[in-house]
Amino acid sequence: MIKRTVWIIAAIVGGAIAVLAVVAWVLAANAPARQMAFPPWYPATNDSGDPAFVDFENHVPCAVDDSPAEDCQRVKFSLVLYRDAESNEPTTYVMSRLRVGVSNDRQVNEGTWSIGQGTALDPEATVYQLDTGAPEGLDVYWPIGDDILFVLDEQLMPRVGDAAYGYALNSVPLGKWNSVPE
């Protein structure tokens, strides 16, 4: 009688452990992945306290460099523009380039920017002109509405990309934290 009771208790405990193991596995499989979050790479305000006005980003071809690195897969490109909080006049910019496949080092350029007029396609178009601190070929931009920015070449024409990446930058929410799985 005692042996039979021990076997029944052992079977019940064993079954309970098996059920708990299955429940734990199901919960773990359906749990949201843990995320690591990274703050924006740029400051919310410049040294004068002017707020960031817009952040344009995209992946652009490695040909953005005069001599692209051999291992370059693409360039993560970002341009953040700052404006005076009271007058809304352009003040400074900060530009970032990170060459995927080459290194995790971010190349940053900073300077001032102004608003001008005229592209090769539209002499009345608004253009954003960066100062001499910007790399050659990345110093003139054509905003299309509030959300798209074309990089212009030396002839003030939109730069042409390749089959994988182009030179149209998209606005992204300011101050957005980027999350990646751990």
Please state the rounded mean pLDDT for residues 48-67: 90
Q: Are residues 61 and 23 in the same domain?
A: no
Q: Are residues 80 and 10 in the same domain?
A: no
Q: Are residues 151 and 104 in the same domain?
A: yes
Indicate whether 28 pLDDT > 80: no
Q: How many residues does the chain have?
A: 182
116 lies in which domain range? 38-181
Please state the rounded mean pLDDT for residues 35-53: 87
Q: Are residues 84 and 165 in the same domain?
A: yes
| Span 128-147, pLDDT tens digits | 999 988 998 999 999 999 99
Report d(CA 145, CA 167) in Å as an integer: 16
pLDDT confidence band for 173 (50 / 70 / 90): confident
Q: Are residues 121 and 87 in the same domain?
A: yes
What's residue 180's pLDDT?
A: 56
Indicate whether 34 pLDDT > 90: no
Q: Are residues 48 and 26 in the same domain?
A: no
State the total domains in the chain: 2
Q: What is the pTM of this model?
A: 0.76
pLDDT confidence band for 170 (50 / 70 / 90): very high
Residue 124: partners with Cβ closer than 8 Å, 6 or more residues away? 117, 118
Q: Are residues 148 and 60 in the same domain?
A: yes
Q: Are residues 22 and 47 in the same domain?
A: no
Indicate whether 156 pLDDT > 90: yes
Residue 174 C-alpha from the chain's centroid: 11
Q: Are residues 136 and 175 in the same domain?
A: yes
Least confident of 47-51, 107-111, 132-136, 147-151: 132-136
What's residue 103's pLDDT?
A: 87
Strands of the chain (E only): list them. 35-38, 52-60, 74-83, 90-100, 106-117, 126-130, 140-144, 148-151, 168-172, 178-181
Indicate whether 32 pLDDT > 90: no
What's residue 77's pLDDT?
A: 93
Q: Are residues 62 and 126 in the same domain?
A: yes
Report d(CA 63, CA 61) in Å as an integer: 5
Q: Are residues 170 and 115 in the same domain?
A: yes
Residue 69: partners with Cβ closer than 8 Å, 6 or more residues away? 62, 99, 101, 102
Q: Are residues 51 and 15 in the same domain?
A: no
The CATH number linked to 78 is: 2.40.128.640
